[in-house]
A and B are shown apart, each in its own frame.
Chain A
């Protein structure tokens, strides 16, 4: 029988998606539905003085208003990965911790009625002086929570820097960035007796259901969350979102199904963003390019409501052999929307700093930036000393360089012109950690010869539905037509969500383990497995995906416009489950990186502290005209510790692209771009 894994196949749900038949959270028809419109705080710090419900309660169709005076009490222990999350405690008191905090939900018979009443609802505040001004040396700065990406200090960084022939010491700044999935967060909730039913757009229905159960002090088996098609997440749908909490409250108070869909502005103002970050890099090297020291510090903003860690120094511990490495992360609490993971958290902004600094080092050494990277290839984890499970960065760099004709590059800046345009090329090396989290899966051998494979996975557009069908088919040694995959439902058992580039690895592990068990009983009956134990037996190794990104840009020095003309990524992401979808995914990541490099910047008004460009006119994400034809390909790679040899490809595409583009802009102009985005005014001559 031919394997299904490794074969390029279009998506299973393709027909549904090109005919408009695929139903997303806001599309599912529900009888007796009422609509909730969210009202957000307009001040950055203070207290609600009054919400004048009487002004709207007689408006046509209005069923009522929920605010802190009548909202159901929520359990303050509810949280997630970073502990109890004050962001989830909606409508519990009159305190406003940031502009964009939901203060009320207006519920009405129709969407138009709910929106009109929400706009008309008078809310007054007692404002307090806020602080939304992020700087690295802010007096409130303190060490970041060390859940992962802990601070390290290997060797003597100061002595090695002093002994270095060349030292680069620079700061790199990245702004607040927004996940901007095309589907705004939407939830529909209703109560069936004691049981809370919800359809919600999220990245992992099981963990969302657990959080929701905790919030409403319900037994987890009384909360059921479904999420069939999700219009992208990129991190912003990893948490139990305001739409779901408010819909559940409204369904409880009004005794009927309620749908709450955030407006686009509300998605910007009230769902996860990447924090503003300021990074310091010091790299020292001998004249031959061998690294003596890397010192990497990053400071990022957080909210006092909940911990968060932007692990910017992950690559610094992975990519290069240096005699000494020191890293430190600091958090600055401010009166802002709580930051959270955005695609490639930590690694993406961290890579911009590290790989820009490496390019600056190559410049000062008078060395080919490709050669500088090859010369510092480590034999083991530079900090951990652990062996790499598989490391194919050099293959990515060499194959990318060949395809990009890198050997013809004149490494001096500002040497290429085409008419009025300056032309430059740049590269970046990249890694992203690989691993898996505990998940469960159930496989049932049906009497008709098919297999029902149930797992609490979700498909945000990653292709999980298609990939897991292929995985299950191979694991059971049957054709894909005999697999009936069930996902996107919290009732299917504990499972990691789609995030951290650990969706596929976690789910593959559970499915293959279940398949093995079922085959052990001659493919009869039903088996359920949980991978917690086998994951614990995984040996300690450095496990990462790797890539090399090459960019060519043109710069118009008169207008300051940068255009990316060519973008090539070579990837080592373990075994590729479906080359068609994997290529799409890493290309999409690279486009996210391009958008980060050139366009994306959340801007705050320093006086009000409010985010002022909360729409797609003010916050531009790359559009068709910004994006060239992009090349992406895979070098042979295999992860020995994870079933099927997979690593995960969801985020690595984003990681190196901004640095490759910034390095290309330097090569074109001779001017370094250490702040993103590379705006016209930063390039203009």
Chain B
């Protein structure tokens, strides 16, 4: 194959630098799964409709199946494998286990990455469709169950773990607030 079909890219994945040659058609999801071996992100639809492939790209949540690997050149990627680093699980991951926020677990990596990204968006004051006052001078949206459900709706779960996921996210957010 001639070289114009392939590109060499650099990615920082869960803190580890990777330099790899990818087919230009390769999505970030397939690069993570097939080339780097991080199979935490899942391919539930390959169309950006289910959220199972959600990862954090430079701290923001993206559906990695709709992101070309070449477009992620130089980015810092966090997958479910990297959320806890080497140490203890995040409070969010612990809450998922304790409250049973999953059954089959296939959507879980995406739900977790999405929740981490979503909490950061909320902390930054971003409104959602569930926010009553979205004016620039409006108050910071309060993170209640309706807000979490709206903001997490890109992540489907067929087992129906939604109520436990929402509870886990709200508990984690409340804990964070108490710890200030």
Contact = CB atoms under 8 A, between A and B. Distances in A.
Contact of B39 (A11, A27, A584): A27
Given A184-B43, A232-B159, A17 B105 contact: yes
Given A11-B100, A629-B166, A19 B80 contact: yes
A490 B81 CA distance: 30
Contact of A182 (B37, B52, B148): B52
B40 interface: yes
B50 A231 contact: no
Contact of A622 (B34, B43, B155, B160): B160
A17 B165 CA distance: 14
14 contacts: A10-B98, A15-B97, A19-B40, A19-B84, A21-B81, A112-B23, A182-B106, A182-B107, A231-B105, A584-B159, A592-B158, A615-B45, A621-B158, A629-B145
Contacts, number: 179
A638 B162 CA distance: 29
A622 B43 CA distance: 19
B95 to A, nearest CB: 9
Contacts of A590: 160
B4 to A, nearest CB: 12
B27 to A, nearest CB: 9
Contacts of A622: 160, 162
A2 interface: no
A621 B156 contact: yes
Contacts of A580: 100
Give the bracket for the number of chain B residues in contact with chain A: 35 or more
Contact of A18 (B26, B80, B159): B80
A24 B84 CA distance: 21
Given A624-B148, A630-B163, A231 B104 contact: yes
Nearest to B151: A624
A655 to B, nearest CB: 14
A81 to B, nearest CB: 23
Contacts of B163: 587, 627-630
A183 B45 contact: no
Q: 4 tightest A-B contacts by CB? A: A20-B40, A461-B104, A231-B106, A588-B160
A584 B106 contact: no
A183 B109 CA distance: 13
Q: How large is the interface on A (under 10, 10 to 19, 20 to 34, 35 or more residues)?
A: 35 or more
B164 interface: yes
A587 to B, nearest CB: 6
Nearest to A201: B106
B109 A461 contact: no
Contacts of A22: 105
Nearest to B107: A182
A373 to B, nearest CB: 26
B1 interface: yes
Interface in B109-167: 109, 112, 130, 145, 148-150, 152-167
Interface string B59-95: 0000000000000000000011101100001000100
A581 interface: yes
Interface in B31-57: 33-34, 37-47, 49-50, 52
A411 interface: no
A461 to B, nearest CB: 3
Contact of B47 (A13, A264, A630): A264
A584 B102 CA distance: 8
Contacts of A461: 102-106, 159
A45 B116 CA distance: 48
Contact of A116 (B25, B33, B84, B154): B25
Interface of A is mostly: loop
A111 B100 CA distance: 34
Contacts of A60: 1, 5
A21 B40 contact: yes
Contacts of A591: 160, 162
Interface in A233-256: 234
Contacts of A621: 156, 158
B105 A19 contact: no
A119 to B, nearest CB: 11
A588 B33 contact: no
A54 interface: no
A623 B166 CA distance: 12
Contacts of A181: 104, 106, 158
A116 B160 CA distance: 34
A628 B167 CA distance: 11
A587 B33 CA distance: 32
Contacts of A13: 105
A417 B174 CA distance: 34
Given A19-B84, A623-B153, A623-B156, A616 B49 contact: yes
A146 to B, nearest CB: 32
A330 interface: no
Contact of A616 (B33, B89, B156, B165): B156
B34 A111 contact: yes
B5 A624 contact: no
Given A19-B81, A231-B107, A264-B50, 6 more contacts: A181-B158, A231-B105, A588-B103, A588-B161, A616-B50, A627-B162
A327 interface: no
Contacts of B46: 263-264
Contacts of A116: 25
Given A180-B158, A263-B46, A588-B161, A17 B153 contact: no
A59 to B, nearest CB: 10
A100 interface: no
A377 B45 CA distance: 46
A673 interface: no
Contacts of A26: 39, 43
A264 B105 contact: no
Contacts of A15: 89, 97
Contact of A588 (B1, B79, B159): B159
A463 B97 CA distance: 12
A13 B100 CA distance: 11
Given A19-B89, A624-B155, A24 B106 contact: yes
